[in-house]
Amino acid sequence: MYKAISLAGGKAVLSVRADDIMHLVWAPGSFIDEEDALSAVTVMNHICAGRGKPLLVDMRNAGNTSSGARDVFAMPHAASRVALLGESPVDEVIAIFFTRSHQPPRPTRYFTSEAEAVSWLSAD
C-alpha cells in the first residue's frame, strides 16, 4: 500500500486506501491548474501500473479549477471510476458541469456522503 504522496506543490495528497481505492484530497482553497491536474494524473497512472483503480476525489473546500485542469481530468487515465465528494450546492453544480461538459470516459458521480461514494466505487 502506498503512503500519502503530496502533489502539486502541496495542493493535494494522494493515497491508496486499505480497500484499494485511490483517495485524492485537495487542500482548502486550492486553485487547481492544468499543471496540478497533470501531476495528479501522472502519479495515479504510476500507482495503477496499467490496472485501473477506483478514485475518490475529495473536492470539499477546494477552490476553483481551471478549464485546462478540467480537460486533463476528462482525458483517459488509470481511474476505473470516479466519485466526486462534495458538501455544498456549489460543489454539486461544479460536478454536474464537469460531467456534462466533458463527458469523462469513465463512470463519474457526485456524492455528499463518503460512505455512499465508497460503496459505489466498490460495486462491480
Any idea which fold 5-122 has? Answer: Rossmann fold (3.40.50)
Secondary structure, 3-state, the chain: CCCCEEEHHHCEEEEECCCCCEEEEECCCCCECHHHHHHHHHHHHHHHCCCCEEEEEECCCCCCECHHHHHHHHCCCCEEEEEEECCCHHHHHHHHHHHHHHCCCCCEEEECCHHHHHHHHHCC
Mean per-residue pLDDT, 78-107:
85
| Chain segment 10-67, per-residue pLDDT in tens | 889 999 999 999 999 998 888 999 999 999 999 999 988 878 899 999 988 788 888 8
The band of 115, judged by pLDDT with boundaries at 50, 70 and 90, is very high
Which is nearest to 53 in space by CA: 45, 61, 62, 43? 45
What is the C-alpha separation between 69 and 35, in angstroms, rounded? 7
pLDDT over threshold 80, residue 77 = yes
Sorted by where each begins, the domain ranges of the chain are: 5-122
Q: Which residue has the higher pLDDT, 37 or 2?
A: 37
